[in-house]
């Protein structure tokens, strides 16, 4: 999907209060360390090294933001978050990070959707469940939510079908999709869904007042000069 391929690096921050305010929909990629978050972002955006992916767990250590949108006009932001549950990290670092992450998920303004990545060979773990619990109030208020089961190439078709149905039950009606960066499985489906999250179709007559609230982001000061209607 062309929109996804427009992704470009926006900024990085070790702490929540260092993140710039964003006035377009933000979609966060969360999950255990090594689940495949950064690889998923690279696959969706068709850019090999936009997000840092690695065999070594704990590769992503900051919140990294990527801007999306054609003609340099940012209309959504993807956030790649460090993973949790990495055994080799010290207890204090783990707790510190879990706090940053929960604060991010609970309080980040503009957070529109969460993509929870999960290795289907592990299934949803205790930490994933804790995350789901933490965001439940926001999900009830309309925060979008998708569980992506990564590394589908490691499973047979019947294993995939089984884990899909189990995870759908656990997701309580939330969306669940199979994904493989290696086989490019599920790429279009996930991209399509994220597009819909960032561009919700409003029922007629409920358009927001045109008050020009959407200022261009710091990374795209030229945005206001460009005409988004020309492809
Ligand atoms: N076979 C296979 N391997 C994958 C897939 N997606 C990711 N991986 C591998 O899984 C490992 C971890 O991937 P990352 O994308 O760095 O994982 P992450 O969730 O960002 O990890 P942290 O940044 O540590 O939280 C890498 O060796 C990837 O190549 C996939 O779809 N199939
Ligand atoms: Mg990563």
Q: Per-residue pLDDT averaged across 51-74, rounded?
A: 84
Positions of E strands within 20-109 = 26-31, 63-68, 76-80
3-class state of residue 177 by DSSP: strand
Which ligand sits closest to the CA of 40? 1
What domains are defined for the chain?
2-198 (3.40.50.300)
For the chain, percent of residues with pLDDT exceeding 90: 61
Q: Exposed, middle or buried: residue 97 (CB in 10 Å: 0-12, 13-18, 19+)?
A: buried
Q: Per-residue pLDDT averaged across 2-25, rounded?
A: 92
Pocket flag, ligand 1, residue 60 (CB < 6 Å): yes
The ligand 1 atom nearest the CA atom of 54: 16
Tell me the chain's radius of gyration from C-alpha atoms.
17
Q: Per-residue pLDDT averaged across 83-99, rounded?
A: 78
User: For position 194, what pLDDT does the model report?
Assistant: 97
Q: Per-residue pLDDT averaged across 73-92, rounded?
A: 86
Task: With CA atoms as reference, report the closest residue to 149 among 40, 58, 51.
Answer: 40
> How far does the centroid of ligand 1 lie from the alpha carbon of residue 65, in Å?
18
pLDDT digits (tens, 9 = 90+) for 115-171: 999 999 999 999 899 899 999 999 999 999 999 999 999 999 999 999 999 999 998
User: For position 206, what pLDDT does the model report?
Assistant: 65
Q: What is the DSSP code (8-state) at residue 31?
A: E
Pocket flag, ligand 1, residue 42 (CB < 6 Å): no
pLDDT digits (tens, 9 = 90+) for 162-217: 999 999 999 877 899 999 999 999 999 999 999 999 999 877 766 655 444 444 44
> How far does the centroid of ligand 2 lie from the alpha carbon of residue 229, in Å?
34
Going by alpha carbons, the residue nearest to atom 8 of ligand 1 is 36
Q: Residue 224 pLDDT more than 50?
A: no
User: For position 227, what pLDDT does the model report?
Assistant: 43
For 27, phi then psi, to 5°, come to: -120, 120
> How far does the centroid of ligand 2 lie from the alpha carbon of residue 125, in Å?
18
Residue count of the chain, please give it.
Answer: 231
Pocket flag, ligand 1, residue 69 (CB < 6 Å): no
Q: Sorting pLDDT into bands at 50, 70 and 90, what band is 40?
A: very high
Q: Are strands 8-13 and 175-178 parallel, antiparallel or unpaired?
A: unpaired
> How far does the centroid of ligand 2 lie from the alpha carbon of residue 227, in Å?
34
User: For position 172, what pLDDT does the model report?
Assistant: 78
């Amino acid at each position: 999907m062309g929109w996804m391929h427009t992704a470009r690096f926006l900024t990085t921050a070790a702490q929540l209060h260092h993140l710039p305010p964003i006035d377009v929909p933000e979609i966060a990629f969360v999950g255990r360390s090594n689940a495949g978050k950064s690889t998923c972002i690279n696959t969706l955006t068709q850019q090999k090294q936009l997000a840092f992916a690695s065999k070594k767990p704990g590769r992503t250590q900051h919140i990294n933001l990527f801007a999306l949108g054609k003609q340099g006009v940012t209309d959504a932001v993807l956030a790649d978050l460090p993973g949790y549950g990495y055994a080799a990290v010290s207890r204090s670092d783990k707790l510190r990070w879990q706090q940053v992450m929960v604060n991010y998920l609970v309080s980040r303004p503009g957070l529109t959707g969460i993509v929870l990545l999960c290795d289907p060979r592990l299934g949803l773990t205790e930490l994933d469940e804790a995350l789901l619990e933490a965001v439940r109030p926001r999900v009830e208020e309309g925060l979008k939510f998708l569980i992506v089961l990564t590394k589908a190439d490691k499973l047979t078709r019947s294993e995939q079908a089984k884990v899909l149905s189990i995870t759908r039950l656990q997701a309580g009606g939330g969306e669940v999709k199979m994904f493989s960066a290696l086989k490019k499985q599920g790429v279009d489906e996930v991209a399509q869904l994220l597009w819909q999250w960032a561009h919700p179709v409003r029922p007629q007559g409920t358009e927001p007042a045109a008050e020009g609230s959407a200022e261009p982001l710091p990374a795209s000061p030229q945005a206001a000069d460009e005409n988004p209607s020309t492809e």
